[in-house]
Structure 1
Amino acid sequence: MTEEGIGGKQFAVTDAKNEDEKTQIKTEINSTLTLEAIDKLKDAISAMELAEDHDINIDELDSVDEIQTRLKCHVKLINEGNLKHKMDDQLKELGEKDILKRQSLSRIIEEVKNIFAQGTNSSATKRQELMEDLLNKDGTTDDITHDCDLRLTSLKEKECVILVSGESSAGKSSLLNLLLGEEILPSHMLPCTSCITVIRYHSYKCAKVVYKNGEVESIPNLDKEGLQRLQQRAYFSNAKNGTDEQGVYKRRKEGHEVAEIQVYLPITMLHSGLVFVDTPGIGENEFLENYLMEYIRSHQILGFVYIIMTDNALGIAEDRLVNLMSLIIKSQRSSNDVVKFNPKAALFVCNRWDMVPQESKKAVRENALKQLEKAWPDFDSSHAVFFSTFKAKQEIGVNKGYVTEEYVALMYGLM
């Protein structure tokens, strides 16, 4: 072998050795960035140094808590991948399994219905009558055949409709935008939702504006121009050019010509039939609540998400929550065509958690849970998530893979 060949081989070995040493050093540095090490950080300087060592952007952060959140998001992204994408996939998989369960339940209910079908044998007829009488006296059902038909109709529905409501200015639309990964719904400090907005899956982004007179306006592409058109038509349709937000809010309280907005998005979590229904805030005005009542009366509501303004000094607006439950019950009583809503299928998102001072968080949490237990039937603390839409958006704005612990809890609550 020539001297040049030998030298080239030596350089190659040296380069490989250097690369191994670099990898080892990088592994040792990363090994110091653990959740346990992050939890032990006591001051901002130490937290900043650790972030700098790992080249993690913390430019807009000041406190130890904020930097710890950023570092934890980074660690989880490295160790577990993008948790939001994983949970979106899980929701899609759950939807696919739900379809199979619906098919299985439909077969069982058909068998039950056939058992109670009018028989030709007099003794069989008497047994059926006796069983129906027992079910009636037990309070299980007044008409087993009608109930079977009702549930069969419900099981044929391919969509899982989640009603999203909440206190005014609690960040309801902002939270939905976060979940969707799109700034679709208008979000301001003033209440924004002026009509029911139904959000479901489609292979591309588009929308429809359904007017009270039955006319439908299609928006074939929700690009920047399409979104502007949607928001102009749907949410501020009575607003004049130059009208300020207070003027817009006043006009929407007076009513407008839009009955419903339908938004279609190519999002994984919606793929298997999950549908979000963004509703006006309860207690704003009777005009908007009438539309909500009509929607509940004519649709199968399988889940419910209620957004709470946690930093409100007066606590949870219990009267609005009670009014909403009354609204649901009243709406469904007037309809024999929908399966009744189960109060246990509810998730309460105590939003704006970042606005509550650290020293007050324990007391605020305990008070919120106490109020929810008082206001909502069959409430359980596992049905409440203390969440900050602002913090979740802040992390995703730095890296789409940065998912806060609160966000993970919210996603699991939806499953």
Structure 2
Amino acid sequence: MDPRSAGPRYFHDDDDVYKSSDVLLYSRTSHDVSSYISLQKETIDCFENIKTLLTDKHFIKHVKPCKKERKRIQEELDRNIRDLKRRDGSIVFAGETSSGKSSIINAILGRKILPTGILPTTTRVCRIRNSEKLMISVRDKNDEEVRDPIPVSTTESMAEQLKTLAKTLDTRINYVDISLQVPFQQGNLTIVDTPGVGDIDQTNMAKLMMDYLPNALAFVFVINVPSAGGFQKDRFIPILEKVKESLDEMVSFDHEDVIFLLNKWDTLLEDDEQKIYFEDTKKRIRSIWKETKPTRILKLSMKKAFEEHDEMFNCFKNELIVLLEKNKERRLKVHVRLIKSFVTECEEIVSPKLEYAKKTAGTSETALKEAQSNISKLEKIWQKESLNIDASVNRFLDEVTNQFHGYIHHPHFKSLLLKDLKTSWRLKMGSDLNAQIKRKTKLWEDTHINQIYEETFVKNIDKELRRICGPLADSLIKGFKVPFYIDNKIIKVIIPSAISIAGGVVITVFLLQPNVALGVATTGAVLSGLAAFGYIDNFETVCKKAIDVRLKNLSKTKIKKSLNERYAKAIKSNIQNALEEMKTEIDELRKEALNDYSNMLSYMELNDKLFECQKDIHNIEQKMLNRLD
């Protein structure tokens, strides 16, 4: 007998509820199964490729440098792969024991296949798949075959075999796979009848059902109305709680894909009682499962004599059609979409960087050679100035000595000192003069030392630096980073702002020398005593002579010697530090020039890998479309 004629193609054998004309007749052939497995494997391979990409050094550096984020992505990929390996698109019927799940599924199939009755009849997870061949297969908890498949010739003999299996005590059997022609089950959709949650002696069956729930793409929760309103804490509520606990693992599940069937509605005889119960139940369900659509909380009675039976069943049929249509190939679609989203996100990071790298670094070796040439010129300046440190220090000391000597021996300096001494008197004049000389020379040092340093050292290399670095700063060596900018960094680094040249130290050294000290005494108390007898000059003349004594002792040779002893080491150290920093930045610039070219190659490699992922995804999508055509 041709199995395709083994029963009418309706949901229900009496009521024209769901004819084959409502959907395309789809046959689950061996080719169809193998093509799905092939697509499943290709999609898993895509995830594995992304996992490999996560460990790629270029990906880590340029796309996802954060270790925590990579770990999170890794965990998501593993979760997605686990979900994708769940081959079936399961529409799971769940509820408490004897709520009528099996009877409803039989009505959907249009024939009595699953055992039904007042006592618990579903003792295993029954998975119903569309196929041209009638077949029963029994599997263990690892989804491995326990025995050879059982071929059957008619749906009647299939029903008898299933009734026998329900009574068998073989504890190895966890799953019963039922293959028959089910026109409305397109793609890899599978209708699953699960053992109910019931009394304590049915704990094992309940656990079997709970363990299977995370495999679902959609649920039909069957609520047993006569059983305390269907919401017993030890029965229906635990099912919903289990689903909620499993949501993280149910990557392909949409919270809206749930139908609540209030079965055995005919047991509520009073219209008022029915209305109040229905409204209360809807509120309770919405409070437990907020995403529930109002149209998916439905009344149902499987008693044909109940006058509202046809209308109720049609409402359920229409919602089920929508659910089935939405979930055709859903698991593949969800994961392909997730891969596309990830790859697109990565491309949005890599593509602009690649374009920028192409524009800046260029693809020719000419740009790189030009950059390296300019870097070499900078390095030559560094080498030249490093060899000339002693000469630079000496040049600085000569210039300070000349300018300082010229300043203190200028008539204007002497006139300033005389002017300040007008308010002094003979006994205090010597100390006042020393104080004035120290104050004025410190002021000169504060305003001239750094300026002379810049003039004698910085400007010697500034012109060369500008000639070389100027074009680099303007063009950024076609994108290569210039680590220093002339106006904002070079001069600031080289000016010895960190050196504290204590103003007046040079002068103090000379003022403490014996011959100068004698001059101070002469202009002090001794001169005051001689003046009383008329043997000395007037006060102004005394002041001029005191100034001359001090300034005469400050020769260029002595000034330079003092400066050299005090400051040459500090200035030399400052120059060396500035040049070392310049050398470090030259090395960084050379490294950056090479890195930018290397980065461009890294971006190109990453871009190629992402392109391959996109191409693989596109091929999978095309094959999915062909499967459903």
Q: By the TM > 0.5 criterion, same fold?
A: yes
Secondary structure of 2:207's match? Answer: helix
Q: Relative to 1, partners in 2 of residues 1:159 and 1:314: Cα closer, same or farther, differing over 3 Å?
A: closer
Write the mapping of 1:256-295 to structure 2, written as runs, cut at 5 A: 256=171, 258-284=173-199, 285-295=202-212
Q: Relative to 1, partners in 2 of residues 1:155 and 1:86: Cα closer, same or farther, differing over 3 Å?
A: farther
Q: Answer yes or no: is 1:202 the counterpart of 2:131.
A: yes
Alpha-carbon separation, structure 2, partners of 1:120 and 1:169 = 58
How far the C-alpha of 1:410 sits from its partner, in A, is 4.3
Give the structure 2 partner of residue 231 of structure 1: 163
How far the C-alpha of 1:218 sits from its partner, in A, is 2.7
Give the structure 2 partner of residue 89 of structure 1: 24
Alpha-carbon separation, structure 2, partners of 1:195 and 1:159 = 17
TM, length-normalised to structure 2: 0.40
Give the structure 2 partner of residue 169 of structure 1: 98
Identity, % of aligned positions: 22
Secondary structure of 1:282's match? Answer: coil
Alpha-carbon separation, structure 2, partners of 1:129 and 1:295 = 38
How far the C-alpha of 1:166 sits from its partner, in A, is 0.8
How far the C-alpha of 1:328 sits from its partner, in A, is 3.9
Checking the alignment, whether the CA contact within 8 Å between 1:211 and 1:260 is kept in structure 2 is yes
Alpha-carbon separation, structure 2, partners of 1:340 and 1:332 = 9
Secondary structure of 1:374's match? Answer: helix
Q: Which has the higher helix share?
A: 2
How far the C-alpha of 1:381 sits from its partner, in A, is 2.3
Aligned mate of 1:361, from 266, 269, 274: 274
Alpha-carbon separation, structure 2, partners of 1:166 and 1:112 = 40
Amino acid of the structure 2 residue aligned with 1:144: I
Alpha-carbon separation, structure 2, partners of 1:203 and 1:386 = 33
Q: How many residues align?
A: 296
How far the C-alpha of 1:273 sits from its partner, in A, is 1.1
Amino acid of the structure 2 residue aligned with 1:270: Q
How far the C-alpha of 1:112 sits from its partner, in A, is 10
**Runs of 5+ consecutive residues of structure 1 not aligned to the other structure:** 1-72, 137-141, 239-254
CA RMSD of aligned residues (A): 4.4
Give the structure 2 partner of residue 407 of structure 1: 317
Give the structure 1 partner of residue 65 of structure 2: 129
How far the C-alpha of 1:260 sits from its partner, in A, is 2.0
Secondary structure of 1:344's match? Answer: coil
Give the structure 1 partner of residue 260 of structure 2: 348
Checking the alignment, whether the CA contact within 8 Å between 1:347 and 1:414 is kept in structure 2 is no
Alpha-carbon separation, structure 1, partners of 2:240 and 2:102 = 21
Q: Deviations over 1:41-99 (max 9, x none)?
A: xxxxxxxxxxxxxxxxxxxxxxxxxxxxxxxx99xx7xxxx75434443999xx9xxx8
Q: Answer yes or no: is 1:113 the counterpart of 2:50.
A: yes
Write the mapping of 1:11-410 to structure 2, written as runs, cut at 5 A: 83-89=18-24, 113=50, 117-121=54-58, 125=61, 127-130=63-66, 133=68, 142-148=71-77, 150-151=79-80, 154-155=83-84, 159-210=88-139, 215-221=146-152, 223=154, 224-232=156-164, 234-238=165-169, 256=171, 258-284=173-199, 285-296=202-213, 300-312=215-227, 314-328=229-243, 339=251, 341-357=253-269, 358-376=271-289, 378-391=291-304, 404-410=314-320
Q: Which has the larger radius of gyration?
A: 2
How far the C-alpha of 1:164 sits from its partner, in A, is 1.3
TM, length-normalised to structure 1: 0.58
Checking the alignment, whether the CA contact within 8 Å between 1:392 and 1:403 is kept in structure 2 is no
Checking the alignment, whether the CA contact within 8 Å between 1:195 and 1:260 is kept in structure 2 is yes
Alpha-carbon separation, structure 1, partners of 2:55 and 2:82 = 21
Higher relative CO (Cα under 8 Å, sequence separation at least 6) belongs to 1
Checking the alignment, whether the CA contact within 8 Å between 1:219 and 1:230 is kept in structure 2 is no
Secondary structure of 1:129's match? Answer: coil
Checking the alignment, whether the CA contact within 8 Å between 2:90 and 2:189 is kept in structure 1 is yes
How far the C-alpha of 1:371 sits from its partner, in A, is 1.8
Deviates more, 1:157-166 or 1:314-323: 314-323
How far the C-alpha of 1:178 sits from its partner, in A, is 0.8
Amino acid of the structure 2 residue aligned with 1:274: L
Alpha-carbon separation, structure 1, partners of 2:105 and 2:62 = 54
Give the structure 2 partner of residue 25 of structure 1: none
Give the structure 2 partner of residue 248 of structure 1: none
How far the C-alpha of 1:406 sits from its partner, in A, is 4.6
Alpha-carbon separation, structure 1, partners of 2:237 and 2:284 = 11
How far the C-alpha of 1:188 sits from its partner, in A, is 1.1
Q: Deviations over 1:208-229 (max 9, x none)?
A: 2336896314320152344323
Amino acid of the structure 2 residue aligned with 1:303: A
How far the C-alpha of 1:268 sits from its partner, in A, is 1.2
Give the structure 2 partner of residue 252 of structure 1: none
Alpha-carbon separation, structure 1, partners of 2:227 and 2:57 = 65
Checking the alignment, whether the CA contact within 8 Å between 1:332 and 1:340 is kept in structure 2 is no
Q: Which has the higher strand share?
A: 1
Q: Deviations over 1:313-341 (max 9, x none)?
A: 535335533311333455688xx7x6375
Secondary structure of 1:361's match? Answer: helix
Q: Relative to 1, partners in 2 of residues 1:199 and 1:237: Cα closer, same or farther, differing over 3 Å?
A: same
Alpha-carbon separation, structure 2, partners of 1:393 and 1:152 = 47
Checking the alignment, whether the CA contact within 8 Å between 1:201 and 1:270 is kept in structure 2 is yes
How far the C-alpha of 1:144 sits from its partner, in A, is 1.1
Q: Deviations over 1:166-193 (max 9, x none)?
A: 1222211000001111211111122211
Q: Relative to 1, partners in 2 of residues 1:218 and 1:328: Cα closer, same or farther, differing over 3 Å?
A: same
Secondary structure of 2:292's match? Answer: coil
Checking the alignment, whether the CA contact within 8 Å between 1:308 and 1:316 is kept in structure 2 is yes
**Runs of 5+ consecutive residues of structure 2 not aligned to the other structure:** 1-13, 326-629
